[in-house]
Chains A and B, each alone.
Chain A
Amino acid sequence: MKLNELAAQLGLECLASTPQADQAEITAGYVSDLLSDVLAHAPRGGVLVTVQVHLNVVAVAVHAGLAAIVFALGRRPDDVVCARAREEGIALYASTLPAFELVGRLYAAGVRGTAA
């Protein structure tokens, strides 16, 4: 499913995006708040669900080749983080749902984790 369709289906609030990111096809995802873990294991082109709002989440997303980050549980990054994400072409979304619930809904929409 395309990122913007996924966001609409899950009722995510867009914090940063680009037309290109909107059209990205999302098939894989990862959930973690430890950015060292994200760096090592997140799937390229995937979506990350996290409560980690430090600026490094964008840098790590770029390194890992992620398409989008969804901040769970009402966590919101600073404007600086959103601006950096726009520059880097990473889409940011916010949700008041807990991470577990978000991941469940992403899975139901066809997004999968990478097989171990």
Chain B
Amino acid sequence: MTPPAVVQAALDCGLSMVAICDHNSAGNVAATQEAARAARARDVRQSTDADPCGVLSVIPGMEITTAEEIHVVGLFPGADAAQAAATEVQATLPEVDAEYYRRFGPQRQLDARGRLVGMERRMLAAASTLSLAQTVALIHRHGGLAVAAHVDRPSFSVLSQLGMFPTDAGFDAIELFVPCGWPGGSASRPVQDPQHWTVGGLPIVWSSDAHFLNDVGRCRTAFTMMAPTFAELVQALRGVDGRSVRGA
């Protein structure tokens, strides 16, 4: 899962926008944005009709583990905002030791070419001490969108941890990971129609929750919007001026 490999995997399966959401870290966001720009420059050199569809937009994100062990995806307007939010989250995490790396694997920070530039020094697999309410507020304070991650999963989801969905939690969207086309996915369940699947009136996004390259694009969302940007994403989730969100 190096930045250039993620970018290539996303382009290969026809995605035009991805969010980079390491656990409790935004340490690989800027490098992936740079890798996407590099891939674009390379494509332009190789192609005579610079195809705008070859552009991959990389949204800065982070999957935060709250004190209740709920995963909340924060999507941010820029890498700086994501990093500022990550710094606050990481201040509540324990420092790593050699044993931790051995058990959980190294926490690499890579550059745009996939070279090792550093290691995360906090236990990213641990839960922060921030409550759900504090986490959502933190994301919003940094201009971000708070998404209830994989609510249909039996662990680390709002429903598994809290039993029922708190409609006043301040979420901007709910994420499902039902891979479209899988048994139980969109082919046999009407999960694609947000009219039938809303919780507290929140829009639903479908995400791959990819932890491995093969997972990239296994589940995706079609946004109807002017451009694959964070600002448009915000408006699409709110359904502004005909913009919309649906499973794809």
Q: With a CB–CB cut-off of 8 A, which chain B residues contact A63?
A: 163-164
For B154-167 the 0/1 string (1 means CB < 8 A from A) is 00000111111010
- Helix, strand, loop or mixed for chain A's interface? helix
Instruction: Point out the residues of chain A lying under 8 angstroms from B131, CB to CB.
Output: 53-54
The smallest beta-carbon distance between B164 and chain A, in angstroms, is 6
CB pair B132–A54 under 8 Å, yes or no, is yes
Please state if B163 and A55 are interface contacts (CB–CB under 8 Å).
Answer: no
Q: Is B68 an interface residue (CB 8 A)?
A: yes
The stretch of A17-25, A35-43, A66-74, A93-101 that contacts the partner chain: A35-43
Please report whether the interface of chain B is mostly helix, strand, loop or mixed according to DSSP. loop
Question: Does A35 lie within 8 Å of B161, measured CB to CB?
Answer: yes
Q: CA separation between A33 and B163, bound complex, in Å?
A: 10
- B166–A34 CB distance below 8 A: no
Interface size on B, as a range, is 10 to 19
**Smallest distance from the beta carbon of B66 to chain A beta carbons, Å?**
9
Within 8 A of A (CB), among B183-239: none
A60 vs B68: C-alpha distance when bound (angstroms): 15
Interface size for chain A: under 10, 10 to 19, 20 to 34, or 35 or more residues? 10 to 19
B60 to chain A, nearest CB (A): 28
Question: What is the distance, in angstroms, from A54's C-beta to the closest C-beta of chain B?
Answer: 5
Given A34-B160, A35-B161, A36-B159, decide whether A55 and B68 contact each other with a Cβ distance below 8 A. no
Note all chain B residues with C-beta closer than 8 A to A52.
68, 161
Judged by a CB distance under 8 angstroms, whether A56 is at the interface is: yes
Q: Is the CB of A36 within 8 A of B163?
A: yes
Could you tell me if A55 and B160 are in contact, using CB atoms closer than 8 angstroms?
no
Interface assignment of A59: CB less than 8 Å from any CB of chain B: yes
Contacts of B68 in A (CB 8 A): 52, 54
For A59, give the chain B residue with the smallest CB separation.
B164
- What is the bound-complex CA distance between A57 and B71, given in angstroms? 18
Nearest A residue (CB) for B131? A54
Q: Once the chains are docked, how many angstroms separate the CA of A36 from the CA of B160?
A: 5
Min CB gap A40→B, angstroms: 9
| 9 closest cross-chain pairs (CB), A and B | A35-B163, A56-B162, A60-B163, A39-B163, A36-B163, A36-B160, A35-B162, A54-B68, A54-B162
Q: A34-B161, A36-B160, A54-B132 provided; 17 other pairs, C-beta below 8 A?
A: A33-B69, A34-B163, A35-B161, A35-B162, A35-B163, A36-B162, A36-B163, A38-B163, A52-B161, A54-B161, A54-B162, A56-B163, A56-B164, A56-B166, A59-B163, A59-B164, A60-B163
